[in-house]
Amino acid sequence: MSLTARELADVVGELAPRVAGSRLADISGIGDEEIHFFFETDPARFCLLVSMRSGLARLHASTRPKVRGAPEPSAATRGLAAKLRGAQLLSISASGSDRVVAMHFQLPASAGEPEEPRTAALWFELFSKHTTWVLVGAAERIIAIRAPVQTKTRSLVPGGEYSPPAPPPFEPPPSRFPAPDASRLDTNRAVEAMYGPIAERALREDALQSLARRIDARLTNRSDRGRGLRQRIEEAKDAPAIRRRAELLSSARHTIPRGATEAVLIDYYDSELPQIRIALDPSVPIARAAERLFLKARKLEEGLHLVLREVEIVEQEKRRLEEARRSLEDCADLAALAELAEELEAAKVLPPPARSKTRSQSERRRDPEAEFRRFQSADGVEILVGKNAEQNDRLTFRVARGNDLWLHVGGGAGGSHVVVRLSQEASCPQETLLDAATLAVHYSQSRGAARAEVIVTQRKFVSKARGLPPGKVIVSGERRFLLDLERPRLERLLRPQVG
């Protein structure tokens, strides 16, 4: 049960002499439901807690405002802090007949503004179910509000006019707490003693349910991932049969008429010499169709060990998550729940909760190409080159488009990822390809070699399996060629480098 109007009046009457005239040093809180006001009083800071939680709406002095593991203050609370920090509390009062409290502030003067004192009133409506706060300025205009209110009887929106709700037509019940004593804050202490443990249990339950939902969602994700990996393992079992079909098709390519939709071939790898049917795309040459089958078989075979490794990792994660899910009820308080969540996040078993990006992060995301080496080919095409393993991953998987050309030095040497930016359906000019290949060799362990192997494919044929370190990728559909380094080409590319 929330504090009654009479209880609020007793609490406010008791603490008003302690905080009136003091400076508001800071505002913090827990999520959207609690606000903590820190006043500079003698001899120490004084914390005033206002809770707007349904069923626990209250206001009182607090001796333990910081709770480890509790949600961060909401955006509305942070905005209120920005407006009131440094203000002087002129007065605090409660209506006595309704659950409404008003705090009147003198705001600090801002640079360039008139030195006339500016005032604002912060109203709290602490009803059992519908609680809110409203910051009101001159002419009773609403400056800020916890959340806009639109009902048949009231409209509370920024810029609108505020008036307190009409008091109820009945007397509030008697207080459940000791009589007020301003010297000892008996009422405030009793209110905190009663509501503190209840509020902590409610916060713990909220945190437990939130962490349980995160764990359940991650378990579902890992189960889905496991099913997908097992399907890939089953597909990999077909690799030998696909390779055999590719070999039969390749050997019989001169006997299959152009434009055929099906090839009927004798399987010479089977002692019974059965006939097999291979569906064909009439627009694709037979040699190309066989090459695609070879590529598919190789991709399945090469990726199998990575898939098996990821299956093991996924199963380990599931076991850890299931163990954590069972241990939730053993977490006695918010701190224990926070410790469990931090442990799971540190082990990379549970992704951290989504957080809003800072402005600088957003700006970097809007211009992700600024960090890479940038070049222009002889044909005027842009070429991007990663500077390290982490950048290579960002370049390949966050910046490059599927149709872009992707290059890397071959022969097992380490080196930068190189991306040629191409418009949709555009092909890469030969000079641009040679320019990009030259950069791939120059920014690699093969730098200085007179000749080096270069791998080239489209970005959409480059993938990354779970567990691979930064910069390591899986490439398919690639073409390999030997590049003879041309010193004048490299010097031309290095001169006009941008960024």
Q: Are residues 23 and 120 in the same domain?
A: yes
Domain shared by 322 and 456, yes or no = no
How far is the CA of 75 from the CAs of 156, 199, 230, 492, in angstroms?
18, 22, 44, 52
Q: Is residue 200 part of a domain?
A: no
State the amino acid at position 363 in one-letter form: E
- Domain membership of residue 462 (yes or no) is yes
Sign of the torsion angle spanned by Cα atoms 220, 222, 225, 227: negative
Tokens (6 digits) for 201: 């249990």
Q: Say yes or no: 462 and 404 in one domain.
A: yes
Kindly report each contact of residues 128-137 with a partner whose C-beta sits within 8 Å and lies 24 or more positions away, as own/partner. 128/1, 128/2, 128/54, 128/55, 128/57, 129/54, 129/55, 131/52, 131/53, 131/54, 131/57, 132/52, 132/156, 133/35, 133/50, 133/52, 133/80, 134/162, 135/80, 135/83, 135/84, 136/162
Confirm whether 360 is domain-assigned: no
Same domain, 410 and 305: no
For residues 127 and 151, give the distance between their C-alpha atoms in angstroms, rounded to a whole number.
16
Whole-structure pTM value: 0.59
Tell me the CATH number at 327. Answer: 1.10.287
Q: Looking at per-residue confidence, does 113 or 319 come out higher?
A: 319
Residues 406, 338, single domain; the answer is: no
DSSP conformation class of 387: S
- Could you count the other beta carbons within 10 Å of the beta carbon of residue 290? 22
For 456, half-sphere exposure in the C-beta direction (CA atoms, 13 angstrom radius) is 25
In angstroms, the CA 215 to CA 206 distance is 14
Question: Domain of 77: which CATH number?
Answer: 2.30.310.10
Same domain, 292 and 395: no
Tens digit of each residue's pLDDT (9 = 90 or more) over 455-466: 999 999 999 887
Measure the CA–CA gap between 495 and 492, rounded to whole angstroms. Answer: 5
Per-residue model confidence (pLDDT) at position 396: 94
- 135 pLDDT above the threshold of 80: yes
Report which residue type is found at 362: S
CA distances (Å), origin 193, targets 15, 36, 63, 356, 436: 16, 17, 10, 36, 71
Task: Report CA torsion sign: 40, 43, 45, 47.
Answer: negative
- The pLDDT tens digits of the residues spanning 248-305 come to 999 998 899 988 999 999 988 888 889 999 999 999 999 999 999 999 888 888 778 8
Percent of the chain's residues with pLDDT above 70: 94
Mean pLDDT along residues 450-476? 90
In a domain? residue 356? no
Is the pLDDT reported for residue 176 higher than 90? yes
Place of tokens 């995160």: 214
Domain membership of residue 305 (yes or no) is yes
Q: How many domains does the chain have?
A: 3
* Same domain (yes/no): 312, 223: yes
Do 286 and 220 share a structural domain?
Answer: yes
Is residue 12 domain-shared with residue 108, that is, in the same domain? Answer: yes
pLDDT at 354: 67
Q: Are residues 54 and 152 in the same domain?
A: yes
Q: pLDDT tens, 312-371? A: 999 999 999 999 999 998 988 888 998 899 999 988 899 888 654 443 444 444 444 557
**Domain extent at residue 325:** 208-346
| pLDDT higher than 50, residue 449 | yes
Domain check: are 230 and 341 in the same one?
yes
140 and 12 within one domain: yes
